[in-house]
Structure 1
Amino acid sequence: MNPILILQDQLEDMGAAAIAALPTLGIAIVILVITAFIARFAVKIADKLAGKTEVRPSLRNLIDTLVKLAIWLFGLMAALIVAMPGFTPTSLIAGLGIGAVAIGFAFQDIFENFLAGVLIMLREKMRIGDVIECEGIVGKVEHITLRETYVRKLSGEVTLVPNSILFKNPVEILTDETQRRHEVVAGVSYDTDLDQAADVIRTAVLSVDAVIEDKGVDVFACEFNSSSVDFKVRWWAGSKPRDGHESRDAVIRAIKRALDEAGIEIPFPYVTHTFKEPVPIKGRGED
């Protein structure tokens, strides 16, 4: 039999089958379009319902994602059943079971970040807007997805951090509370009355508007340094990084001004040179 005729017959059969499948494919596409509208509408309803409660933004994102995922899974299943009449959910589960191991190894990182993202959204800490520090990354949490977290660094750049890193490593939340303790070291000369110096420093720190007076101010003599006795000065102010910079600037200025007014020296390192032999000093005019 002529191979060309065989190929021609096969192409004609394929074309006829494709034309016959066009109505079902069209219906499947319509189902997907309707699914998209329903998913968008359902997310809006979920947002409105969540807006009436005190749900955290991260948890609200998780609810929106799960609602959208559930609707799309149902819509895709319906479209596949219409496009392929022999397809059933049982056959899909069986097919997934056969390739589950291979899929698990191939998408291990994706599944790990997905699960970490769900757990991060569920936990109460690390809300959107918090300033965090993790693995050398310091910045504000802007958005949490099921794959990664958007962290806006203090210098303006945004870092996409995989959720598994934030879940498996210690995360320091700098703005978990609105107040935070800050500290600075102030040194005075060895001939200073330390009790007087401590009182002067404490009064100066309390005079700063950014310092929270109710929390108190600590002034501890902490070290005999090379040319000074050092005090560790601790106070409470706002927890944001800029609050810390501003309050530290004001505290240092106030301490310097108060010590100067009290006649207390803030020493700098002294260097004493010794020589094994006397150093001759020549008078003026001598060669």
Structure 2
Amino acid sequence: MARGFVAILPNLAIALIVLFITWMVAKFATKIADRIIGKSSLRPSLKKLVETLVKLAIWLIGLLIAAAVAIPGFTPAGAIAGLGIGAVAIGFAFQDIFENFLAGVLIMLREKMRIGDVIEVEGILGRVENITLRETHLRQMSNELTIMPNAMIFKSPVKILTDDQRARTEVVVGVDYDADLDQAEKALRGAVEGLDGVDMEKGVEVYAIEFGGSSIDFKIRFWTGSKPREGWQARHLAIKSIKKALDNAGIGIPFPIVTNMFPEALQIEQASAGEARQQA
């Protein structure tokens, strides 16, 4: 055994050199992938997929060469046969890994949900920072990083907020019952039109939607940029402008009826009034 080990040392040394060369070549997988892709304008996710596949191919070839050098009698056909024998056991043992791997490939291949998009999945809202073959990195609006398995994203409904450059924003406001509704509609429309961040090509829509408990409610709909910050900023400006426009028009924004907010207090007050009447 000792003589056999000494005899195989040169082969092991050559195998280690092959692995080192493989590691060096894999480091340049990005440049190799760029040469394969050429000047084609692929999505960042597809470029990462090509880079990953190139890196995997380089490591596979390097490992096969190193194994053939280090183990006498080793052949790729024998390795494939050995993998075939244990394929079922490996499949069960690494089911989740393979599932996430295939889901990652499919996510990278589809056109939607690119790197940089803001998405919402499983109640998590964030920007896609990176897509790997096993997981997707989401940077939440609070700057926290969430790492989600690709299988979860692939199976769950995904809301892509930045799929288009424009998104609709809505603001609901109530006016007094004795207010002139035509005047209120005109004031609300004029308050939003011309604001920074509001897309006037889409226009501004104002609708009276319902008779509220203490007011007639209007819904104002307008279009802004699809990024969350753009929507929040436009909504912020719209609310301030609406309040100012209604004040200038002499139209009040009533408070909700107190009885709807505090039913228990109302019952106590009614009971006290009933007792007072009985005593009288």
TM-score calculated relative to the size of structure 2? 0.91
2:180 is aligned to 193
- Tell me, in whole angstroms, the C-alpha distance in 1 between the residues paired with 2:2 and 2:55: 36
> Equivalents in 2 of 1:48, 1:205: separation in Å?
51
- Aligned match of 1:29: 16
State yes or no: 1:52 paired with 2:39.
yes
Question: How far 1:48 sits from its partner (Å)?
Answer: 5.5
Aligned length: 266
1:205–1:51 distance in 2 versus 1, CA, 3 Å = farther
What residue is the counterpart of 2:145 in the other structure? Answer: 158
Output one character per residue of 1:50-95: Cα deviation in whole Å (capped at 9) or x when no partner: 4722111111000000001011101100110111121111111111
The residue correspondences of 1:169-208 to structure 2 (distance < 5 A) are 169-208=156-195
Distance 2:36 2:178 in 1: 68
Secondary structure, in 3 states, of the residue corresponding to 1:69? helix
Query: Identity of paired residues, percent?
Result: 62
Change (3 A) 1:112 1:90: same
Q: Quick check: 253-262 or 219-228, which moved more?
A: 219-228
1:188-212, CA deviations, whole angstroms, 9 ceiling, x for partnerless residues? 0111111111111011000311111
- Structure 2 residue 99 is matched with structure 1 residue 112: yes
Deviation at 1:244, TM superposition (A): 1.1
| Among candidates 226, 237, 244, match of residue 231 of structure 2 | 244
Distance across 2 between alignment mates of 1:92 and 1:45:
27
Distance 2:214 2:111 in 1: 48
Q: Which residue of 2 aligns with 1:102?
A: 89
Q: CA shift at 1:157, angstroms?
A: 0.7
Query: What is the CA–CA distance in structure 2 between the aligned matches of 1:169 and 1:34, rounded to whole Å?
Result: 41
Where do 5+ consecutive residues of structure 1 fail to align? 1-13, 280-287
Distance 2:224 2:196 in 1: 9
Q: Distance in 1 between matches of 2:258 and 2:82?
A: 80
Q: Which runs of 5+ in 2 are unaligned?
A: 260-268
Task: State yes or no: 1:265 paired with 2:271.
Answer: no
Q: Distance in 2 between the 1:51 and 1:167 partners?
A: 29
Name the counterpart of 1:74: 61
Compute the RMSD of aligned alpha carbons: 1.6
Within 1, Cα distance between the matches of 2:198 and 2:38?
Answer: 35
CA deviation profile, 1:145-178 (whole Å, cap 9, x unmatched)? 0010010011011011000011001100011111
Letter in 2 for 1:183: E
Larger radius of gyration: 1
| TM-score for both structures, normalised by structure 1 | 0.89
What SS does structure 2 have at the residue aligned with 1:209?
coil
Q: Name the counterpart of 1:282.
A: none
2:243 aligns with one of 256, 271, 278: 256
* C-alpha separation in 1, matches of 2:64 and 2:38: 31
Work out the CA distance in 2 between the residues paired with 1:278 and 1:198: 46
SS at match of 1:232: strand
